[in-house]
Amino acid sequence: MPAADGTVADGAGRPEPNHGLRIFLLWLPVALVADLLIWFVWGPHLPPGAMSTSAATQQSAIKIMSVMAAPVMALVLVYGAYALVVWRHREGDDEDGPPIHGNTRVSVTWIGVTSVIVLSLAVFGTVELAGPAGAGAGEGNTPIWRPSGGTPLQVQVIGQQWRWTYRYPQFGGFETTSLMLPVGENVQFNITSLDVIHSFWAYQLGVKADANPDINNVAYTKPEHTGQVQVRCAELCGLWHADMTTVGQVVSLSAFNAWTATARTQLAALTKELPPYTLTYDPNAVAQLGKVFQKAGLSGAGGGFYGSQYPVQP
Amino acid sequence: MSLAARVTTLIVAVLAVVGGVIFVVAHYLLGGPPTVDFAAATSGQVNVTMQTDASSDPATVPDHPTWVSYFIKSPASGSWVHTTLFQVPAHTRVNVTILGYDGSTPVRNQVWGQVSGTTGGVADYGGKPVKTVNGWNGPYLIQHTFAIPSLNLSVPVEAGPATCTTGPCTNNQHSTTTFSFMTPAQPGAYRWQCFVPCGLSYLDGNGGPMQTFGYMTGNMQVVS
């Protein structure tokens, strides 16, 4: 109950300790330890790793977000634990607590601090998305951020149920089921689909971008280390969605050049049969398809180009 | 609502949920097409014969007789089985013969016009070896593909001279595509599929037979 001088005493008449200060002193080391552990111990192992520039910046962003969030979580936990211990019910103490009608200082502090944290994280996230960290997520066909340092390696990623294929327009336009990238070089993925919506997820590279039919979605990355890259589809795309996987390779520049030379030669016959390289492939616009229709006596059937006499979904 | 009505509602709801779960589990475990067993290899080889049909005899395929479909010939009975599931031994040469009773359907991605993953990197169209087929412009036209992505196996299947709509068909109006490949040493289920969007009446040819076991996709079960 408040005394005549305004101080608050407990049921035994003892003055209330400064709970705010005690909670702060308990919270401070917990928050510091949590942040240090996140930054130096857990941080280097956070996804998606640091195999590429885009992956490393994403990992850095996650570390910063975690370091900002950990003290808030620590405060909630410390306060909860403190309340359970200090304000627990004691035998024989049936007195009500003091009526509280608000505390302007606490309210202002709480709203102010949390607003600053949330708004600063929003600004930070927006800036990160507009820069290299967000480039791996795909920027549509008119990217607002491009890597400096000349023309990047162009790799077209083509999704189809249920496999990825890759086309290398700077090396004659050959198309292959293998993803091979050179270390230390900027890479521009031009991602599209031939049928439904897929999502090209090259996990270790920090690249996850939608593959939409008739749309070129540009994503950038720069592999910084050699190794394997797990490629998955991250958009439910049908029966074998879970099996739409590939293992790509990041190799040295010399190994990459040797691979492209070999692939270009081995796939020469196939490359001649491919349509000219474009950023998207509308099957109805491929002129050669008309020939096969004519030769087979088809009137729009086949290849998914069915006439309007057929229902979209029976 | 009375207590009796609430209890009855609760019981009905519980029974509906339990019944639904049992139905789904039973359908998963007991449903689906049968598996044709080629596990008895002779001299380290097995011969797998399939056929493709534009549509099927409703008496044989009552579920979706209008769907394009594969059939597999049982080595035990010699009869055609409506399934896309088959079982082969590990580390064994598989000689595949596909009788094409379907007409031409162009590949959407010409990359699937290339033969890959077979013995010698070729397939035979009526005895003529082919490596790359222009499914858009000939001289060979294709109808479907047989592909096992995890083995990098992909073979375009030649279009038949006529379209048979009462599969399984037994006449001579078919193409013959043959090839061989080695099964992996690792046992397990290896999915296979057709990469030609041939699901007539489905959006862009996807869906329907493209996504249903027994028609244009299935599993090759490799056993040790």
Residue A162 has pLDDT above 90, yes or no: yes
A173 interfaces chain B, CB cutoff of 8 Å: no
Asked if B108 and B195 sit in the same domain, the reply is yes
Write out pLDDT tens, residues A37-82: 999 999 999 999 989 988 998 899 899 989 999 999 999 999 999 9
Nearest to A192 by CA among A212, A162, A219: A212
Residue B13: which domain range?
1-31
Chain B nearest-CA distance from A313, in A, is: 5
How crowded is the C-beta side of B189, counted as CA atoms within 13 Å?
Answer: 10
Asked if B21 and B91 sit in the same domain, the reply is no
Residue A221 neighbours by CB distance under 10 Å: 29
Chain A nearest-CA distance from B159, in A, is: 10
Q: Which of A78-92, B26-40, B176-190 has the lowest mean pLDDT?
A: B26-40
How many structural domains does chain B have?
2
The helix (H) or strand (E) run that includes residue B23 is: helix B3-30
Select the residue of A162, A177, A292 nearest B106 (Cβ to Cβ): A292
> Are B206 and A196 inside 8 Å of each other by CB?
yes
Residue A138 lies in a domain: no
Give the ipTM of the model, two decimals please: 0.87
Domain's final residue, options A129, A161, A190: A129
Comparing alpha-carbon positions, the chain B residue that sits nearest to A245 is B150
**For position A106, what pLDDT does the model report?**
84
> Are A288 and B137 inside 8 Å of each other by CB?
yes
Residue A10 lies in a domain: no
Asked if B27 and B43 sit in the same domain, the reply is no
Confidence band of B194 (pLDDT split at 50, 70, 90): very high
B67 interfaces chain A, CB cutoff of 8 Å: no
**For position B106, what pLDDT does the model report?**
77
Asked if A119 and A217 sit in the same domain, the reply is no
Select the residue of A163, A239, A273 nearest B110 (Cβ to Cβ): A273
**For position A209, what pLDDT does the model report?**
94
Asked if B210 and B131 sit in the same domain, the reply is yes
Residue A201: which domain range?
153-273
Asked if A119 and A191 sit in the same domain, the reply is no
Average pLDDT, whole number, for chain B? 91
Asked if B129 and B167 sit in the same domain, the reply is yes
For residue A149, give the amino acid letter.
G
Write out pLDDT tens, residues B55-97: 999 999 988 998 999 999 999 999 999 999 999 999 999 999 9
CA distances from A296 to A260, B143, B210 (A): 36, 11, 22
DSSP codes, chain A: -B-TTS-BB-TTSPBPP-HHHHHHHHHHHHHHHHHHIIIIIIGGGSTT-SSBHHHHHHHHHHHHHHHHHHHHHHHHHHHHHHHHHHSS--TT--PPPPP----HHHHHHHHHHHHHHHHHHHHHHHHHHTSHHHHTT--TTS-S---SSSPPEEEEEEEETTEEEEEEGGGTTEEES--EEETTS-EEEEEEESSS-EEEEEGGGTEEEEE-BT--EEEEE-B-S-EEEEEEE-S--STTGGG--EEEEEE-HHHHHHHHHHHHHHTHHHHHHSPPP-SS--GGG-HHHHHHHHHHT-SS-STT---TTS-S--
What tokens were used for B130?
A: 């082919």
> Are B138 and A292 inside 8 Å of each other by CB?
yes
Confidence band of A164 (pLDDT split at 50, 70, 90): very high
B171 interfaces chain A, CB cutoff of 8 Å: no
**How large is the C-alpha radius of gyration of chain B?**
21
Interface A-B, measured as beta-carbon pairs within 8 A, has a size of 123
Distance of CA B121 to the CA centre of its chain: 21
